[in-house]
Structure 1
Amino acid sequence: MTNLLLYISLFLIWTMLFYHAFLMVGGYFHSLKYKSFEKELLSESRNLPTVSILIPAHNEDVVIENTLKSMIRLNYPKDKLEVIVINDNSSDDTGSIVDAYAEQYPFIKALHTKPPNAGKGKSGALNKGFKKSTGEVIIVYDADNTPEPDAVYYLALGLQNDEKAGAIVGKFRVVNANKNLLTKLINIETLTFQWLAQAGRWFWFKMCTIPGTNFAIRRSILERLNGWDEKALSEDTELSIRVYDLGYYIRFFPSAITWEQEPETLRVWWRQRTRWARGNLYVIFKYLFRLHKLKNRKVFIDIFYFLFTYLMFFAGILISHSIFVVNIFYDLELKIGIVSYVLLIVGFLLFVTEVCLALSMEQKQLTVKNFFVVLFMYFTYSQLWILLVVYSSILEIKRVLFKQEAKWYKTKRFQQTS
């Protein structure tokens, strides 16, 4: 029985490793090709669409001013731009900061929400902002984001130039990447995710997932979908599924860049990633038993990807790790023997190769220092995700069984030093 479990776990692990390697090849090819799309956009003069930028903000006085300054610096006609900051029941100075900028800049608008229908999560705030918006294109930024001046221009023009795209997704970079070891690890994870999961899936399948920030979506689509699902903790993943089911695809366009702050302490990271994992589990089970109702069969790829990642892949790792530890103290008479160790070593080398390839696609990221961080990452940060997914799964099971309301955790922000 133990041997069978080990065979199953190794099969699950290697299926995902090969799939990720396949995606990374696609990500590399996309990194070589996307500039041609950018040149095509810049070569033709077009009438730009009106744009509404939604910025949900709950107790964001530490970061919101830098975000508003970046909105002012955007290279986009201000007569076609409105920035709506949804001050969602904040108890700090967020509201007064936004009001001060709104008084000075007509394209910046403050929307203040109050209880009882406020402060319950990002989806609710976005829906309120959407109702007040007027733009043909809706763009979302988190309150800690500072997009580069051309980011909105690329998102809006890219969406206008591609009728089949329901949404277009930009790239995000970590503004505090060098703060400490944790932010270095998150930076490497972020870059790898974008060039592996986003760029790779776009290149091979014409699919990617809407992130929580730096994306544009057509107003007409949000109207058809009645906005965001307010029960979803990962409102971005859930929205992606519904956009695909309408028959559109979501384009990954890394020319549109924003800079965002990442957790600087393990506690904040754990709570934020737990919310992400729980939100993705919610999406998996929301649609897994409704597959027969989905019109676009391509959506199956995404649902099974998340199912495999959050359940089967992590289960395989957990089983193999458990067998390895038990076998140290008690002879389980494993028949696979030395082969299992060879597979573990090769798997480690494949992980390092994939991450280093992703770093090579960004300027000054594939360094000797980052190489050693990647080695450290495999044995620490990556393994911590196993515990996090197990913990998140338990919380989701409890929520469903006891019909609990999912509570939104607002990520703590940190003061940035210049």
Structure 2
Amino acid sequence: MLSFIEHFNVLIFLFFSVAYSYRIVYVLIGLYSKKKKRDALKPVKLHKYAVLIAARNEQAVIGELIKSLKNQKYPEELLDIFVVADNCTDQTAQRARDMGAIVYERFHRDLVGKGYALHFLFGKIAKQCGLKHYAGYFVFDADNLLEENYIAEMNRVFDKGYRVLTSYRNSKNYGHNWISAGYALWFLHEAEYLNNPRMILGKSCAISGTGFLVHQDIILRNGGWKHYLLTEDIEFSVSEVIKGETIGYCGSAVLYDEQPGTFKQAWNQRMRWAKGFYQVFHRYGKNLLQCSLQGKKQSFSCYDLMMTIMPALLLSITSFVVNGLFFLMGLINPNFGDQILQVTFIAILSSFGIYYTILFTLGTITTITEWHRIHCFAWQKIIYLFTFPLFMFTYVPIALAALFKKVEWKPIQHTCVKSLQDIREQQSA
């Protein structure tokens, strides 16, 4: 029995060490890139874009997003703003119209979610002017805010040949509490220590929720938007990478969005994400594995995405459960012996310590390098370093519950109404 427990724990440790060791290289590359000045990319052409915003009862925040789009340092005539007011019961549609957006209202009780809303909006654009009218399509959430050079910076990289692009995801309400800070710190890490190294290595990045750009060719090929799983962003990323697309990253295009501030909202949102990752892995896991083993240009990108969506957290849960059960049995039944108690207790404690240390280290590196881009008081930046691993640990019960629970798309209420000026005036020293 003791031998089984020891071998089981070693196998779990070896799997994680081998499967995710490349992420250490990502962090080192990300740190090295901080010392280098980013190359200035000269655009060959200023392209005409459509901005797509899927909004559900977002009257409080959508005006600031449209205002930040109107204030872009990019020719206004090359940017058309489309809003789909999806199952709204408030004044979202009128608010967007008043701000100068082209608005379509959609009402559907069964086909609910951002993917369906985007497909509806693409259909309207196709009828209005044709999908070829725009070189590319930006997708934002209604709570987003953009720095004035966002479109211009994305255009620079788009003009380099990337047909799908994602951007730097910052947060409007980092300092609200440990929950919003947990979200925000992870998105900063994802931007600069996952997508940035991928971009430097010429590998494919991954879209994370909002703030991305898609070339007209891909929209035409797909017949609009055809991704309807609970995490349509990662589904789109996986689908395109399997097809051979390389998703780019523009770290100089900065977007702000609002993070949930209550545990209930965070639980519901991350339950959808966890279930969505299971869905994507179930649908695309086999294709990703085949792509990973082919030894082609996209093989490593496929492997990277497979490790991203793989339900590896379930292995950690299994490890905790197995060691926990043997530990309890050792307490109840003295015949198990002190060695089993000692081995299982050390395994549980060391696993917690290792994961906490890794997450704390990642959070610390990200906080130090992005210090002046995090808009809150210095003491909050430091305190939330210690709560960041705890926030990430809350994924454990969520991942377990998502296995068995039926999960449906639920809107997240956005109430953080801030302008770019408001964010800049927040303490960031």
* TM-score category, normalised to shorter length: 0.7 to 0.9
Gap change, CA 1:177 and 1:344, over 3 Å in 2: closer
Structure 2 residue 360 is the aligned partner of structure 1 residue 352: yes
| Alignment of structure 1 residues 3-402 onto 2, 5 Å | 3-15=6-18, 18-33=21-36, 35-37=37-39, 39=40, 41=41, 44=42, 46-102=44-100, 108-115=101-108, 120-131=112-123, 132=125, 134-161=133-160, 163=161, 165-204=162-201, 206-291=203-288, 296-308=298-310, 311-320=311-320, 323=323, 327=327, 330=331, 333-334=339-340, 340=347, 345-364=353-372, 365=374, 367=378, 369-378=380-389, 380-395=390-405
Residue of structure 1 equivalent to 2:417: 416
Cα contact 1:121–1:230 (8 A) shared by 2 = no
| Helix, strand or coil at the partner of 1:179 | coil
Moved more, 325-334 or 84-93: 325-334
Cα contact 1:9–1:315 (8 A) shared by 2 = yes
**1:234, distance to aligned residue in structure 2 (A):** 1.0
Cα contact 2:55–2:141 (8 A) shared by 1 = yes
Gap change, CA 1:292 and 1:353, over 3 Å in 2: closer
Moved more, 241-250 or 260-269: 241-250
| Helix, strand or coil at the partner of 1:70 | helix
Cα contact 2:43–2:155 (8 A) shared by 1 = no
Gap change, CA 1:46 and 1:323, over 3 Å in 2: same
Residue of structure 2 equivalent to 1:403: none
Gap change, CA 1:115 and 1:352, over 3 Å in 2: closer
Moved more, 15-24 or 192-201: 15-24
Cα contact 2:280–2:309 (8 A) shared by 1 = no
In 2, the alpha carbon distance for the partners of 1:182 and 1:66 equals 24
In 2, the alpha carbon distance for the partners of 1:149 and 1:224 equals 31
Cα contact 1:85–1:110 (8 A) shared by 2 = yes
**1:189, distance to aligned residue in structure 2 (A):** 2.1
Cα contact 1:61–1:93 (8 A) shared by 2 = yes
| Helix, strand or coil at the partner of 1:393 | helix
**1:306, distance to aligned residue in structure 2 (A):** 2.7
**1:339, distance to aligned residue in structure 2 (A):** 7.4
Give the total of aligned pairs.
393
Could you tell me which runs of 5 or more consecutive residues in structure 1 were left unpaired when the two chains were aligned. Answer: 103-107, 400-405
Could you tell me which runs of 5 or more consecutive residues in structure 2 were left unpaired when the two chains were aligned. Answer: 126-130, 332-336, 423-429
| Helix, strand or coil at the partner of 2:394 | helix
Residue of structure 2 equivalent to 1:402: none
Q: Which residue type is aligned with residue 62 of structure 1?
A: A
In 2, the alpha carbon distance for the partners of 1:188 and 1:285 equals 29
**1:344, distance to aligned residue in structure 2 (A):** 5.5
In 2, the alpha carbon distance for the partners of 1:172 and 1:156 equals 17
In 2, the alpha carbon distance for the partners of 1:389 and 1:171 equals 26
In 1, the alpha carbon distance for the partners of 2:23 and 2:317 equals 15
In 2, the alpha carbon distance for the partners of 1:337 and 1:124 equals 48
**1:326, distance to aligned residue in structure 2 (A):** 5.2
| Helix, strand or coil at the partner of 1:110 | strand
Q: Which residue type is aligned with residue 333 of structure 1?
A: Q
Gap change, CA 1:258 and 1:292, over 3 Å in 2: closer
| Helix, strand or coil at the partner of 2:371 | coil
* Per-residue CA distance 1:335-377 (angstroms, 9 max, x = gap): 8589756676455433322221111221335956433422233
Gap change, CA 1:361 and 1:267, over 3 Å in 2: same
Q: Which residue type is aligned with residue 272 of structure 1?
A: Q
Normalised to the residue count of structure 2, the TM-score between the two structures is 0.82
In 2, the alpha carbon distance for the partners of 1:13 and 1:290 equals 22
Cα contact 2:64–2:417 (8 A) shared by 1 = no
Normalised to the residue count of structure 1, the TM-score between the two structures is 0.84
Gap change, CA 1:323 and 1:205, over 3 Å in 2: farther
Cα contact 1:287–1:303 (8 A) shared by 2 = no
Gap change, CA 1:315 and 1:234, over 3 Å in 2: same
Q: Which residue type is aligned with residue 77 of structure 1?
A: P
Moved more, 339-348 or 358-367: 339-348
Residue of structure 1 equivalent to 2:427: none
| Helix, strand or coil at the partner of 1:249 | coil
Moved more, 272-281 or 334-343: 334-343
| Helix, strand or coil at the partner of 1:286 | helix
Structure 2 residue 8 is the aligned partner of structure 1 residue 2: no
Structure with bigger RCO (C-alpha 8 Å, 6+ apart):
1
Residue of structure 1 equivalent to 2:425: none
In 1, the alpha carbon distance for the partners of 2:195 and 2:289 equals 26
Cα contact 2:227–2:236 (8 A) shared by 1 = no
In 1, the alpha carbon distance for the partners of 2:108 and 2:317 equals 44
**1:166, distance to aligned residue in structure 2 (A):** 2.2
